[in-house]
Amino acid sequence: MITTNIIGTGRVAQTLFGLMEANTSISVLGVLGRSRDSLGDWSRGKGIADPAQLRPAMVHIIAVSDSSIAEVAQQLTHLSGLLVHTSGTTSIEKLRPHGRIGVFYPLQTFSLDAPAQPDQIPWIIDAQHQEDLSLLTALAEVLGSSATHLNDLKRKEMHLAAVMINNFTHHIWSMTQAWVAQSSGDFALLHPLAKKTLDIALQDSTGHQQTGPARRNDRSTLEQHLALLGDHPLAQIYQTMTESIVQRHEKEL
């Protein structure tokens, strides 16, 4: 049985709590929040607002905003066990002066409305000692997934890649959906294309299967598209992406 404490009340903290509470091989001993109000019913009576009340556990998981990690870690110096954060960009050193420190970063996007399945959450881990790396690997495996050991720099690079393929594409899709709605269009017509594009992108690392007017450097169509967008914020994105695609494939034309 792996015992844990969760520090935080946001989406990552709530998702972790749900995953661990549903797992018979993990026992969540407590959930630390800024106030009782922030803990709510989701913490199932395990919420506390005083760090001194945290019980001894094998792993203490800080799941707060990046800017708060160091401050929170300073409040937990009395704890034994392994202290980790869940950030993709914050250095492991922010957890000092705690003796045993590590990272347990979920490479996934979290929504309370549509929780991720445990086997769809790769965990990026780091720690100062081999026994702690083994503990985090075991925790990931108990959760039904896998762990990959990356240092601070490599984890930051992976986080950047995650932002590009998740946050940026989501932003473009949501803006496009709003633009289509304003034009009295049916965005559902684009669903099959969106799914097909994802399948191709996951298989085509070279961009060889890239299609579209930018890939062909079809200036007539490109100009028509920009005219349709006018001064909409999508126009700048369209122009930037077009130039990037043209430059990447210009030798193939």
| DSSP class per residue in 159-188 | HHHHIIIIIIHHHHHHHHHHHHHHTT--GG
Three-state SS for 28? strand
Count how many domains the chain has: 2
> Which pLDDT does position 26 carry in this prediction?
97
Query: pTM higher than 0.75 for the full model?
Result: yes
CATH code of residue 108: 3.40.50.720
Same domain flag for 160 and 142? no
Last-in-domain residue among 129, 150, 171: 150
Q: Which domain holds residue 116?
A: 2-150
Last-in-domain residue among 115, 150, 185: 150
One-letter amino acid identity for 106? P
Alpha carbons 223 and 215: distance in angstroms, whole number: 14
Same domain flag for 127 and 167? no
pLDDT in 10s for each residue of the chain, 253 residues = 999 999 999 999 999 999 999 999 999 999 999 877 778 788 888 999 999 999 999 999 999 999 999 999 999 999 999 999 999 999 999 999 998 999 999 999 988 888 888 999 999 999 999 999 999 999 999 999 999 999 999 999 999 999 999 999 999 999 999 999 998 889 999 999 999 999 999 999 888 899 999 999 999 999 999 999 999 999 999 999 999 999 998 877 6
Three-state SS for 77? coil
Alpha carbons 115 and 168: distance in angstroms, whole number: 20
> Which pLDDT does position 253 carry in this prediction?
61
Tell me, rounded to whole angstroms, the distance of Cα 99 from its chain centroid. Answer: 27
Same domain flag for 108 and 16? yes
> Which pLDDT does position 145 carry in this prediction?
96
